[in-house]
Amino acid sequence: MRARIAFEDGTILTGNSIGAAGSTCGEVVFNTSMTGYQEVLTDPSYAGQIVTMTYPLIGNYGVNSDDVESRRLFLSGFVVREASKIVSNWRGDGLTLAEYLRKNNIVGIEEVDTRAITMHIREAGAMNAVITTEDTTEEELIRKAKKSPHLEGLDLVKDVMSPEPFVWQDKGKYHVVVYDCGVKYNILRQLAESDCRVTVMPARSSAADILALRPDGVLLSNGPGDPAAVDYAIETTRGLVDKVPLFGICLGHQMLSLALGGATYKLKFGHHGGNHPVKDLATDEVMITVQNHGFCVDLESLGGDKNVEITHLNLNDQTCEGINHKHIPAFSVQFHPEAGPGPHDGRYLFKRFCDLMDKA
């Protein structure tokens, strides 16, 4: 089946359909990871986005039930140069990438020039697009792309957070409540491996709801959309500051920064992939990190607060990758320390969180 991807600026590419038939809209981003496409597909932070993989061959090791990062696929669409027709991996469940996308009702396209898409987004900035298998005029596709909602001002957390509280692990030295804005399962796995009893609370929970559980610490999770639009999460985070040790990851980092009086802004094309260099300013060590965000904390917005220090910098564009409060137990990072591109460069942050809970 033929498929097309039409951008709001009028660019249209034609390829072959992979996944579900129909149409889908979203902001197009590119991910530079060579592997880990199943983790990308199941990351709730991609809600509202069409993901283009820059590596040309995707799907060769299939999919399995162990590597999923959430209860379902939340992204809007998927774009690859070539979706492998052959699956070879002892852990795989036998499904090809195309079958996996169809099973989960995700519209996708292959046999398009993903390098051209990547360069176009890098030059023009992130923009919305439509992927379709339907017989629609080019004019109508472009009009549909232009009308689709942009991420600025959009709250997508409400669409991905867990519908009800649940316990991930019921034993451990520390009781950690995860404030779920779209948490990845590997964050929960890392907490469990760090001897934590883990309770997950949906983002609609108040600070009082969370503190009533008497946690030793609270992890502010990753999630999709514009952090400034999720005012209820900022309010909850503000109510937790100075009450309990806090560790923020990705959107959680942005929430903590906003709660402390900072500001966020939209990046030109975001950071998405598994090869982003981040410098720890305390040690001068450089980590290879996994990134997935389209918004960033404004360094200058926190520069006037002498209680907050910048702890990590992105070496590609010098953007903020981490903060720490000097007087209360609260810190956060923009990247994903639970992921393993380095392979485990960021895992020390979970120990740091446990040390904070020990001291508290």
β pairing state of 217-220 and 174-180: parallel
CATH number for the domain spanning 59: value is 3.50.30.20
pLDDT tens string 73-112: 999 999 999 999 999 999 999 999 999 999 999 999 999 9
Do 226 and 341 meet the contact criterion of CB atoms below 8 Å apart? no
Co-location of 84 and 134 in the same domain = yes
| Token pair 């090791």 in the structure block, residue | 61
Co-location of 206 and 355 in the same domain = yes
pLDDT tens string 114-133: 999 999 999 999 999 999 99
77 DSSP β-pair partners: 50, 107
**Residue 327 within any structural domain of the chain:** yes
**Residue 35 within any structural domain of the chain:** yes
Other beta carbons within 10 Å of 58: 27
Nearest CA-CA partner of 79 in 142, 7, 152: 7
Co-location of 108 and 179 in the same domain = no
**Residue 152 within any structural domain of the chain:** no
Q: What is the pTM of this model?
A: 0.96
Q: Which residues are catalytic?
A: 250, 336, 338
CATH number for the domain spanning 281: value is 3.40.50.880
Co-location of 106 and 163 in the same domain = no
**Residue 143 within any structural domain of the chain:** yes
Co-location of 15 and 107 in the same domain = yes
Nearest CA-CA partner of 323 in 281, 359, 293: 281
Co-location of 253 and 311 in the same domain = yes
Mean pLDDT of 280-300: 95
- Last-in-domain residue among 113, 129, 147: 147
Do 33 and 80 meet the contact criterion of CB atoms below 8 Å apart? no
Co-location of 278 and 191 in the same domain = yes
| Token pair 């220090």 in the structure block, residue | 309
β pairing state of 82-83 and 2-7: unpaired
- Coarse DSSP helix, strand, coil percentages of the chain, rounded to the nearest 5 percent: 25, 35, 40
> What is the residue range of 243's domain?
157-359
**Residue 67 within any structural domain of the chain:** yes
**Residue 224 within any structural domain of the chain:** yes
pLDDT tens string 305-346: 789 999 999 999 999 999 999 999 999 999 999 987 767 889
- Last-in-domain residue among 147, 178, 207: 147
CA-CA-CA-CA dihedral for 50, 52, 57, 60, to nearest 10: -30
Co-location of 50 and 199 in the same domain = no
Co-location of 298 and 244 in the same domain = yes
pLDDT of residue 344: 84
- Where does the pLDDT of residue 302 fall: very low under 50, low under 70, confident under 90, or very high at 90 and above? confident
| Token pair 């979970």 in the structure block, residue | 350
pLDDT tens string 243-258: 999 999 999 999 999 9
- Last-in-domain residue among 125, 147, 169: 147
Number of domains composing the chain: 2
**Residue 189 within any structural domain of the chain:** yes
pLDDT tens string 36-64: 999 999 999 999 999 999 999 999 999 99
Co-location of 170 and 134 in the same domain = no
pLDDT of residue 46: 98
Co-location of 136 and 185 in the same domain = no
**Residue 94 within any structural domain of the chain:** yes
Co-location of 175 and 69 in the same domain = no
